[in-house]
């Protein structure tokens, strides 16, 4: 464990209920409830030459089948950008990302855990949000109060055993307050796709939210398209992925390809 992390564990007295060590909160001047915080992820780099994966008893996607605590320390080759997770199994770690990026929730929610994601975004564990992508989050308090953490060198969609290749990262972000946008749920953008998200304790309900978000995005971005046409596009061209199923609140994200739209 790096010394700075040991110092945090030793000196941090006012700890929240969640398991994550987060950098923040960062106040964004001018941000007010009802605005949207645009977070441009400029750079994400590996900070350590090791990582870990652990399985906690009665957690993950198969809680009744893995009842023992298990952990593996994983060496990272930062030059080759690879990690050998098991003998003869090498995973690329060239697209690291922060599992947690979020803002403060509405004050009526009080102090919340960092584990479940929600309208505040938080622990969405979305592997698409790498350097060069942009995250859009609805703001609930003055200053937004952005935090980030939960560094992942790599992860599969679902994150089924509870954790990814967990490691330390360094990130560089640019913040823009969008007073011209209104969102209920977080969204994102990559060079090739727009991303909508659905978050709910029920995976089925998360899927419904993501589908509604798709229809809402398409009809507002392309006003000449009807809801029925947007629903059609969602069915024939949008890929819906299980983001994660292990954080209490489950996630679905829909990948809307930009290439299918001839007018933007």
User: The tokens 């505040």 sit on which residue?
Assistant: 120
Q: Pairing mode, if any, of strands 89-92 and 82-86? A: antiparallel
Helices vs strands, H then E, count in the chain = 3, 15
Peptide linkage before 25 cis (omega within 30 of 0): yes
Distances (CA, A) of 222 to 44, 185, 218, 259: 32, 19, 6, 14
Q: Kindly list the averaged pLDDT for each block of 10 residues, start to end, along the chain of length 264.
A: 78 83 95 98 97 96 95 98 98 98 95 95 98 98 98 98 97 98 98 98 98 98 98 98 97 98 81
Which pLDDT score, from 0 to 100, does residue 264 have?
A: 61
Q: Which of 175, 147, 206, 149 is nearest to 19 (CA)?
A: 149
Per-domain boundaries in the chain: 187-260
Residue 126 near residue 197, CB atoms below 8 Å: yes
| pTM summary value | 0.95
Q: Are 128 and 195 in contact (CB under 8 A)?
A: yes
* DSSP string of 170-189, one letter each residue: EEEEEEEEETT---SS-EEE
CATH code of the region 187-260: 3.10.28.20
Among residues 16, 250, 248, 244, which one has the least CA distance to residue 112? 16
Q: Which of 202, 209, 150 has the alpha carbon at shortest distance from 185?
A: 209
Q: CA 260, CA 9: separation in Å to the nearest integer?
A: 49
pLDDT at 151: 98
Residue 112's nearest CA partner among 250, 249, 251, 253 is 249
Q: What is the spatial distance between Cα 29 and Cα 221, in angstroms, rounded to a whole number?
A: 28
Confidence (pLDDT) at 29: 96
Q: What is the pLDDT of residue 160?
A: 98
Residue 108's pLDDT is what? 93
């Amino acid at each position: 464990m790096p010394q700075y992390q040991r110092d945090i564990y030793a000196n941090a007295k006012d700890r929240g209920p969640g398991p994550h060590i987060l950098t923040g909160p960062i106040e964004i001047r001018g941000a007010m409830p009802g605005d949207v915080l645009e977070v441009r992820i400029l750079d994400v780099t590996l900070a350590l030459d090791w990582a870990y994966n652990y399985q906690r008893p009665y957690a993950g996607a198969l809680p009744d089948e893995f009842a023992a605590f298990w952990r593996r320390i994983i060496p990272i080759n930062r030059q080759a950008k690879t990690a050998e997770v098991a003998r003869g199994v090498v995973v690329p770690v060239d697209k690291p990302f922060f599992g947690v990026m979020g803002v403060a929730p509405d004050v009526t929610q009080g102090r919340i855990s960092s584990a479940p994601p929600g309208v505040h975004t938080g622990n969405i564990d979305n592997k698409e949000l790498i350097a060069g992508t942009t995250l859009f989050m609805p703001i609930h308090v003055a200053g937004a109060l952005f935090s980030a953490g939960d560094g992942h060198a790599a992860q599969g969609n679902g994150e089924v055993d509870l954790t990814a290749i967990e490691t330390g990262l360094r990130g560089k972000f640019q913040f823009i307050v969008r007073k011209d946008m209104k969102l209920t749920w977080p969204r994102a953008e990559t060079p090739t796709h727009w991303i909508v998200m659905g978050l709910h304790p029920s995976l089925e309900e998360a899927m419904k939210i993501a589908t509604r978000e798709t229809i809402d995005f398409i009809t507002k971005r392309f006003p000449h398209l009807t809801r029925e046409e947007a629903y059609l596009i969602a069915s024939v061209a949008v890929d819906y992925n299980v983001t994660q199923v292990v954080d209490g609140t489950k996630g679905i994200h829909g990948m809307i390809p930009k290439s299918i739209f001839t007018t933007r």
